[in-house]
Amino acid sequence: MDQDAFVRTFGSIYEHSPWVAEAAFAQRPFRTAAALQEAMAAAVRAAPAGRQLA
């Protein structure tokens, strides 16, 4: 799936913050749902505090 479709599909998982899906997209392919979840969690952890709060 391309990035636009990925963000449309998964962009609302984390507090309706599509930037998380955009950041995780670079980590694909995801072998499992757990790998996708970890990539998204890592994107949140790596973001500056202001981005996280926004």
Tokens of 27: 């980590």
**End-to-end CA separation in angstroms for the chain:** 27
Nearest-angstrom CA–CA distance, 36 and 51: 20
Which whole number is the average pLDDT over 24-28? 95
Which whole number is the average pLDDT over 49-54? 88
Q: What is the pLDDT of residue 44?
A: 95
pTM recorded for the entire structure: 0.86
Q: What is the pLDDT of residue 29?
A: 95
Q: Compute the CA torsion angle 10, 16, 44, 21 (nearest 10 deg).
A: 30
